[in-house]
């Protein structure tokens, strides 16, 4: 049994080894999940989905299918999270299912590739759009990106209350801004570009779904706050269902708004659909508004990703002696301070790397996607394994239509793993190589 499982019996005075407390309400949990999912993707991927769809009906069905796939996955995660509420989330499920070695490699991948790469990407997008409002010189985007990471990490280090209220405010501002974009698009009557019969590139539905599910990615972060949610037996499931329902509605309506304002081919040919929509309606003011909205949206997604990412670092620190410094939870602030600081240091290094290469979006998608979908597939398989290994465990929520629902989830993950390998090519090797670098540390911990 790991230290984390014994925390409930420790005295409150032992603040450095205190357990995470259930301090997040249902609204807090929904704000975090929505904050993680709705980032920069909603302003970038709709055009890519349109260009890979045969027509607007196929495009809208793709976004609806993305919500359905996310719902299927959420039902699987709801069983895992309510049965094993643990700050390590997927790390903990994999440890119980496949052993500590697999779990550590997942945590290492999340620490060095998936989570930190996502945070770095979001911070660069924030920097790009903040620079549209006030430029800070030749390296303006990088300076804004680094500044955002330092500021958000400090807010999270100061305390749970500060970080969750920051997230709530950013999520509310983001949703209100998106609702305004939707309203503007729906009342628009004249397409900004001439409508032709077909998009400029041949449709590829598999690639379209890869971009759709990239936009939906992040709802599984609920697993990492499961130990901190109040009334977790009910609110874990409710937070997932409410979040995915809200996100799906926003995605469907904003794509309808884009269609209404730009037309199908106008969407497919646009490099910045939201900016084109607002510029078409409000001119220069619309461009400023969308820059502010995207900056707020990416800032909210980065903060939520920082919040959940540090929880995995803390969990692996509880289980591995060589990384024991990460397994300290500050009772006073309610935060894993060491996990937050290490995560920030890695992200700042990635920002430095991105400043040199300047290929942020493509690089991050290339080497994060295969690793992400591989471990996502393992998490789906872990549900079957844990039902067999731990049949007597109380399960407050059981996934409906078992085993069909988790089998469907695993099939989708397998397909997306295959698609990501096909479309990324050499980039996938970079992610695999980064995960492999964790093997020496794993062997060192055994000594």
pLDDT in tens, the chain (447 residues): 444 443 333 333 333 445 567 778 888 888 888 887 887 778 778 888 888 888 889 999 999 999 999 999 999 998 998 899 887 888 889 999 999 889 888 888 888 888 888 888 888 888 877 887 888 888 888 899 999 999 999 998 888 778 778 888 888 887 888 888 888 888 766 554 444 444 445 567 777 887 888 788 878 877 777 778 888 888 888 888 999 999 999 999 989 988 888 888 888 887 667 777 777 777 777 778 877 888 888 888 888 888 888 888 888 788 777 777 887 877 777 778 888 898 999 899 888 877 776 555 555 666 677 888 899 899 999 999 999 999 999 998 999 999 999 999 999 899 888 877 776 656 567 777 878 888 887 777 666
Enumerate the β-bridge partners of residue 329: 17
DSSP code, position 18: P
> Concatenated DSSP letters for 76-145?
HHHHHHHHS--TTTHHHHHHHHH-HHHHHHHHHHIIIIIHHHHHHHHHHHHHHHHHHHS--STTHHHHHH
CA 380 from chain center: how many Å?
17
- Residue 257 confidence (pLDDT): 87
Phi, psi of 185 (to 5 degrees): -65, -40
Phi, psi of 285 (to 5 degrees): -60, -40
Angle 156-159-164 from CA coordinates, rounded to 5°: 65
Contact 373, 413 (CB under 8 A): yes
CA 352 from chain center: how many Å?
22
Q: Distance (Å, rounded) from C-alpha 292 to C-alpha 296? A: 6
CA-wise closest residue to 340 among 104, 91, 163: 163
Q: How many other C-beta atoms can be found within 10 angstroms of the C-beta atom of residue 219?
A: 21
Q: Distance (Å, rounded) from C-alpha 360 to C-alpha 151? A: 21
Count Cβ neighbours within 10 Å for each residue of 296-307 and write b for 16 or more, e otherwise.
bbbbbbbbbbbb
Q: Distance (Å, rounded) from C-alpha 434 to C-alpha 370? A: 12
Q: State yes or no: cis peptide before 75, omega within 30 of 0.
A: no
Q: Distance (Å, rounded) from C-alpha 380 to C-alpha 408? A: 10
Q: Distance (Å, rounded) from C-alpha 55 to C-alpha 64? A: 15
The radius of gyration of the chain's CA atoms, rounded to the nearest angstrom, is: 21
The pair of three-digit structure tokens given for residue 278, joined into one six-digit string:
């607002």
Q: Distance (Å, rounded) from C-alpha 298 to C-alpha 291? A: 11
Domains of the chain are 22-446 (1.20.1740.10)
Q: How many other C-beta atoms can be found within 10 angstroms of the C-beta atom of residue 161?
A: 11
DSSP code, position 20: P
Distances (CA, A) of 62 to 3, 210, 248, 285, 381: 44, 10, 11, 32, 25
Please classify residue 396 by burial: count the beta carbons closer than 10 Å to its beta carbon, then call 0-12 exposed, 13-18 middle and 19+ buried.
middle
The pair of three-digit structure tokens given for residue 57, joined into one six-digit string:
């009906």
- Residue 380 confidence (pLDDT): 93
The helix/strand/coil state of 45 is helix
């Amino acid at each position: 049994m790991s230290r984390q499982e014994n925390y409930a019996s420790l005295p409150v005075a032992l603040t450095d080894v205190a357990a995470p407390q259930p301090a997040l309400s249902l609204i807090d949990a929904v704000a975090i999940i929505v904050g993680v999912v709705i980032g920069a993707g909603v302003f970038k991927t709709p055009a890519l989905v349109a260009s890979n769809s045969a027509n607007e009906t196929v495009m809208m069905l793709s976004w609806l299918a993305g919500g359905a796939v996310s719902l299927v996955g959420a039902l699987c995660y709801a069983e895992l999270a309510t049965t094993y509420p643990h700050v390590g989330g997927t790390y903990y499920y994999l440890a119980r299912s496949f052993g500590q070695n697999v779990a550590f490699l997942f945590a290492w991948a999340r620490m060095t590739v998936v989570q930190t790469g996502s945070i770095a990407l979001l911070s660069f997008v924030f920097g790009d759009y903040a620079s549209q409002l006030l430029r800070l010189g030749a390296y303006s985007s990088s300076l804004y990106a680094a500044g955002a990471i330092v500021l958000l990490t400090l807010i999270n280090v100061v305390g749970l209350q500060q970080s969750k209220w920051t997230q709530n405010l950013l999520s509310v501002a983001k949703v209100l801004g998106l609702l305004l974009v939707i309203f503007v698009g729906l009342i628009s009557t004249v397409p900004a570009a001439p409508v032709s019969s077909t998009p400029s590139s041949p449709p590829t539905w598999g690639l379209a779904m890869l971009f759709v599910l990239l936009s939906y990615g992040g709802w599984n972060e609920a697993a990492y706050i499961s130990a901190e949610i109040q009334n977790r037996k009910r609110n874990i499931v409710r937070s997932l269902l409410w979040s995915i329902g809200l996100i799906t509605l926003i995605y469907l309506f904003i794509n309808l708004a884009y269609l209404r304002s730009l037309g199908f081919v106008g969407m497919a040919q646009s490099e910045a659909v939201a900016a084109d929509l607002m510029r078409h309606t409000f001119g220069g003011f619309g461009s400023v508004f969308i820059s502010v909205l995207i900056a707020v949206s990416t800032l909210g997604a980065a903060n939520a990703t920082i919040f959940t990412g540090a929880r995995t670092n803390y969990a692996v620190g509880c289980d591995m002696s060589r990384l024991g410094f990460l397994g300290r939870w500050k009772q006073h602030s309610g935060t894993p301070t060491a996990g937050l600081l290490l995560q920030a240091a890695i992200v700042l290094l990635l920002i430095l790397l991105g400043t040199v290469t300047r290929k942020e979006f493509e690089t991050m998608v290339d080497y994060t996607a295969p690793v992400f979908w591989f471990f996502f597939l393992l998490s789906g398989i872990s549900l079957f394994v844990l039902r067999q290994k731990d049949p007597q465990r109380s399960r407050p929520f059981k996934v409906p239509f078992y085993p069909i629902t988790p089998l469907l989830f695993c099939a989708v993950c397998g397909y997306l793993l295959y698609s990501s390998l096909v479309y990324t090519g050499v980039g996938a090797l970079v992610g695999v190589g980064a995960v492999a670098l964790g093997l020496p540390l794993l062997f060192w911990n055994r000594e």
